[in-house]
Structure formats: structure tokens, C-alpha cells
Amino acid sequence: MICNFFYSLPIIYFITLTNNEFINNMFFKKKITKHYARVLFEYSVKTHKRDSIYYKIKKVSFLLSQHIDFNKFFTNSLLSNEKKILFLEKVFHPFDFFLFHFLKLLVIRKRESLLKEIFLEYKNIYKENKGFVKCILTSSFPLNTDHQKMIVHKIISSSEKKKNTKTKKKNIT
């Protein structure tokens, strides 16, 4: 019994170590995801293609969510980077030149497994920049048109106050 206990100690330590590495890796991946999404968004604004790139990213995100095989392609370690890039060129180059080069960069830097998260973060940045406010309203009774308009007006005025507060804080510092 004692021998079995000692044999299990290094395994427990190893599992703890990998869990800590996983947590650190998770934060690192989130930082990478935000960076790539921000760069993608800034480029789309700079080239005045913000809306068109957003809708193309929505289409690719839908493709990734609906086709598991396409997802597996990006995470497959058996395929070389050259083969992945050739495939991406055939599929995405005619669709969008910039998006193809962005995906190519992800493959070269071995970040293609983060593609779904990068696109999700890009969509969040886009919506925030456009001023979209996500609001879920639950009511126990049907609301008439006047009540709906009043609620929408309050939400819009509330979000504008928050924007003005953020702008004032930025100007002060």
C-alpha cells in the first residue's frame, strides 16, 4: 500500500503543474486572440473595408461552426503548413485577398487553432465600435409600441452617458 502511494505522488505533482500551465496558457491565448483581432479591425478601418470584412468574417465563422471537417483542418498537426496554405489559397484567395493573407499569417505563426476565437473577438470589437448595445428584455406581459420605444430610448441615452463618461476620463488623463 505504501509503495502505491509513493508511485502516485509524482503523477499528482505533474497534473498540478500542467493545470497551472494550462491556466497561464489560457490567459496567453486570450491576449494573443485580442491582439490579432485588434490588428485585423484596425486594418479594416484603415482600408475603409470595415463593414465588408465584418460580413466576410461572419460568413467564415458560420462555415467554421457548421463544418466540423473544416475545423479539423486547422487543428490537424499532420498537415504541413505548405499544404494548409495551398488549400487556403484555393478557397480564400478568390473570396477575399486580405482574409487569405491573414489566415496565411496565422498558419505560418501556428495560430490557426485560435481562428474561431479571433473572429469572435473581431466581431465584438466591431459591434462595440459601431455602437451596438446588446440588450435582453424579459417582460411578464406583452409590451405595446409606446413602452418599447420608451425602453429603447432609455437604453440609448444610458449607453450615450457611459460613452461620454469614458471620453471625459480619457481627456482628463
List pLDDT tens digits, range 81-110: 899 899 888 988 888 888 888 999 999 998
Average pLDDT score over the chain? 77
Under-70 pLDDT residues of the chain: 1-24, 133, 159-173
Supply the pLDDT for residue 11.
Answer: 43
Supply the pLDDT for residue 35.
Answer: 92
DSSP for 6-47 reads HHHHHHHHHHHHHHHHHHHHHHHHHHHHHHHHHHHHHHHHHT
**CA 136 – CA 17 distance, rounded (Å):** 41
Q: Which three cell numbers mark 157?
A: 441615452
Check if the beta carbon of residue 81 is closer than 8 Å to that of residue 107.
yes
- The domain segmentation of the chain, as residue ranges, is 2-132, 133-173
The reported pTM is 0.66
Check if the beta carbon of residue 57 is closer than 8 Å to that of residue 125.
no
